[in-house]
Amino acid sequence: FPGSSDSIIVVGGHIDSDKWYNPGASDNASGAACTIELARLWSKLPRRYTMIFCTFGAEESNLVGSRDFVKRFADIDKVALMFSIDMAGSEGWLIPFVDVKNHQAPTWLVKDAYAADRRLGYNDLEYPTHFFSINNALDGAGSDHMPFLERGIPAIDFTSGINLDPIHTPMDRMQFLSKPMLARSGRLVDTLLRQYHEQGIPPEKTGRYMLWQTFLGNLFIPHWLLIALTGLGMILGIVALLQVRKFRLKLDKRETGRFSTLKLFLLMIVIAIFTQLGEALLQSLKGLRYPWLTDFYAYLWLAALATLVGIWVALQATRRWKFSPDPYVYLLRAVTFYLLFAGFFSLASARLAVYPALALIAIALLVNTTRPWLRLLLTLLTPLPMFRLMFMEALPLLGRSMSAAGFQMTGFVQALIYSAILTALLVLWYLPALYLFAYTLRSTPLAAQIAGYLRRPIAGLAILLLFVVFGGYLFASASYSDKWKATLKVQGVYDMNSGNDSLVVVSNEYLRQVEVNAGDYQTAIDGRILNHELPLSFSAPWLRVGGSASLSEGEKMDTLRCDWRLISEKSWVRATLKLALLPDTSGIAGIYTDLNYEQEKGRAQFIWSAEPPDTIAVRAALAIPPGTRLVREVRGDYPFLPLEINASAPHAFTVYQTEVIYRDTLDVAP
């Protein structure tokens, strides 16, 4: 919609979901709906700026649509502002996404968004600082504002429901959307649009800061201050260590308590194993992989109680094991670990390095404090920054995303490796805190006295009772609901060349209470298994390849010119073309085509998703070594099966899909 100025404001939201069988009502039909409604409203309003309302494809595939827009839009240099709406229909937080790898949205845009949220009476904008500290360092989750912001265009995204909505699952459906929340996102963007049309868009393009939302308001911590805080923390930590070193005890061999820090390391492993014990027990008792799916936070509390049990068990070992009485031994390890964390994290992100740096600053305060209760308080507060980083605000999203990925973790060895990695992470993350507790126990008599009380059997019984009672409550609670379900797949695979077929029931959850009906065939599956092959045969000859190819000889490389048609007799949701050479020691040297493709180790792959047409044209020129033959493999994915079948389970949503494979080898004469 043209305005009185040729400067442009873009409003958009992606229109794809992550998989064909996930409806994507929240992520992101809701954002697309807001975009369309805003376009309807602004088509009738006077406009200072030219406005573009658009929906992007392939956001779930690394922002392909919005990146392509920024790359190809002829007037991209005239774009002065961009709003993205992603997941708009959920209660709770409305999160402003303001970060890209090397900078942030300008502060005026963030401040204006919070001010508009307050004026509208919502006060729902919430920036999860700790989540974004990790997300920004890992270049993780984002949305369609990012290509604009990376180019230096002021841009912001508003997202809701990251912990509340069953996104990226078949349960992401309209019934779980809130119309008032859809209005919330739309009204917020509309309010900001009206403000900038009236007042103009400020000149600042980007910022460099860490946004920290506190009860006192938003803090915009400059990037240079993050670096300074990290340096200060590391210096203070070293100074504190040197201070304690001056007073280290002179001990003979009988008093040293050999391998004290190694013993603490072993005790930390025990504590980390106990942390996972609550979930493991309920997995065993309920016969489910993900008993926590519906009530994630309750299981975190169970893990906390299990950790306390582990700490009590570890304290019992201190009755028999001899430990060094020298506090310096333990402080040396604690400071060293936090220094290593700060140095390593700084390689990824300045804001990430602040967390261990804050722990080092707390250690410096602890060393220079003589009041026992204050020393105890600082000992407890020191691990808090690292604790908040691990248990960040979007942990339920991360956990549920891992459950959705359970299809890839199907074996005992994989599960064992996962548990070992989680245990190692917990040990390394909290081992410096354990060393610091040991330092305080050896340097503060009050701490040793309290530890003695906690080591008593009555304390252990009290903790165990709480653990058992709360665990019993969770055992009686439902693990799945109408909103949170496992995914049950009935997958057919048909090889057109061999005529081989297979039909398998698979799930990311154990196959419990699964019933399968296919005509005269009926079966029930109930066990701690993740897949079950059905003894049913079928045929699905739905693919064929037409067109032509010609070969031109060259001095070093031949050129194979292809004009193919990939033809499907039925509507597919995804098509894949793979190209390789025989002998396999040779590789495709070059590909010249208007199509997008992936190439690795001399092999090429073309992918069409989002319900491609039944006939796909493939025109390309391939540079290949003389004397080689081209192998083509076409795979088609279909959202149905070639036979009538019904599979169901109380805790799962069922998806039916068929994969058809066709391959051939081309001998093309020049």
Is residue 635 within 8 Å of 659, Cβ to Cβ? yes
Angle, CA 601 vertex, CA 595 and CA 604 arms, to 5°: 25
- Model pLDDT, residue 254: 63
Determine the average pLDDT of the residues in 604-608. Answer: 96
Determine the average pLDDT of the residues in 494-518. Answer: 97
Among 202-211, 212-221, 299-308, 614-623, whose mean pLDDT is lowest?
Answer: 212-221
For the cut 70, the answer to whether the pLDDT of residue 253 exceeds it is no
Q: Which long-range contacts (CB under 8 A, 24 or more apart) does 114-119 make?
A: 114/218, 116/188, 116/191, 116/192, 116/195, 117/188, 119/191
Task: Characterize 231-255 residue by residue with b for buried, 16 or more Cβ atoms within 10 angstroms of its Cβ, and e for exposed.
Answer: eebbebbeebbeebeeeeeeeeeee
- Model pLDDT, residue 410: 78
Q: Is the peptide bond before 28 cis (omega within 30 degrees of 0)?
A: yes
- Tell me which DSSP letter residue 390 carries: H
- Tell me which DSSP letter residue 104 carries: B
pLDDT in tens, 32-91: 999 999 999 999 999 999 999 999 999 999 999 999 999 999 999 999 999 999 999 999
Q: Which of 222, 309, 221, 321 minimizes the C-alpha distance to 265?
A: 321
Residue 324, burial from CB neighbour count under 10 angstroms (0-12, 13-18, 19+) = buried
The per-residue DSSP string of 268-331 comes to HHHHHHHHTHHHHHHHHHHT-S-TTSS-HHHHHHHHHHHHHHHHHHHHHHTTTS-----HHHHH
- Model pLDDT, residue 415: 85
pLDDT in tens, 498-509: 999 999 999 999
- 493 beta partners: 502, 659
- Model pLDDT, residue 381: 97
What structural domains does the chain harbor? 5-207 (3.40.630.10), 223-248+257-400+410-476 (no CATH), 485-670 (2.60.40)
CA distances from 321 to 303, 318, 360, 552 (A): 27, 5, 29, 79
For the cut 70, the answer to whether the pLDDT of residue 670 exceeds it is no
- Model pLDDT, residue 299: 97
Provide Rg for the chain, Cα atoms.
Answer: 30
Distance, CA of 132 to CA of 139 (rounded, Å): 10
Among 15-29, 330-344, 436-450, 584-598, whose mean pLDDT is lowest?
Answer: 584-598
Q: How far is C-alpha 322 from the geometric centre of its chain's CA atoms? A: 43
- Tell me which DSSP letter residue 26 carries: I
- Model pLDDT, residue 446: 94
SS3 629: strand
Is residue 159 within 8 Å of 13, Cβ to Cβ? no
The per-residue DSSP string of 403-439 comes to HHGGGG--SHHHHHHHHHHHHHHHHHHHHHHHHHHHH
Task: Characterize 439-448 residue by residue with b for buried, 16 or more Cβ atoms within 10 angstroms of its Cβ, and e for exposed.
Answer: bbbbbbeebe
For the cut 90, the answer to whether the pLDDT of residue 248 exceeds it is no
For the cut 90, the answer to whether the pLDDT of residue 610 exceeds it is no
Determine the average pLDDT of the residues in 271-275. Answer: 97
Mean pLDDT in the chain? 94
Residue 93 CB neighbours (<10 A): 19
pLDDT in tens, 179-191: 999 999 999 999 9
pLDDT band at 319 (very low <50, low <70, confident <90, very high): confident
- Model pLDDT, residue 256: 62
Is residue 30 within 8 Å of 88, Cβ to Cβ? yes
pLDDT in tens, 148-158: 999 999 999 99
Distance, CA of 157 to CA of 134 (rounded, Å): 18
pLDDT in tens, 623-668: 999 889 999 999 999 999 999 999 999 999 999 999 999 999 987 6
Q: How far is C-alpha 588 from the geometric centre of its chain's CA atoms? A: 35
In this structure, are strands 49-56 and 531-533 parallel, antiparallel, or unpaired? Answer: unpaired
Is residue 562 within 8 Å of 620, Cβ to Cβ? yes
Backbone angles phi, psi at 466, to 5 degrees: -60, -45
- Model pLDDT, residue 257: 62
Q: Which of 5, 16, 11, 72 minimizes the C-alpha distance to 609?
A: 16
Q: Which of 487, 422, 27 minimizes the C-alpha distance to 289?
A: 487
